Amino acid sequence: MRAVIETTHGDPERAAQVAAALVPDNTEEMATTVDGRTVRTEIDRESTGGLHATVDDYVVNCAVADRLTKTQS
């Protein structure tokens, strides 16, 4: 099972900050990259349930990271 999540942020610096906040929580089955204003994370899991749980956690973490970078701008 694989999910690809792309989020767009205000500018490249902010996208890099969001990605930097997310990477420490990545497992071996996750890869996060930045391209301009876009953060892209690929998640691979053996099961649908595992993928669902990981995506759910990731989305919450991404929302928090995005909010925190907004308050710093």
pLDDT tens digits along 44-57: 999 999 999 999 99
Residue 68 corresponds to which tokens in the numbers above? 């925190």
Place of tokens 């990271």: 65
Question: Which pLDDT band holds residue 13 (cuts at 50, 70, 90)?
Answer: very high
Structural fold of domain 2-72: TATA-Binding Protein (3.30.310)
> Comparing 72 with 4, which gets the higher pLDDT?
4
Whether the per-residue pLDDT at 71 is higher than 90: the answer is no
Three-class SS of residue 61? Answer: helix
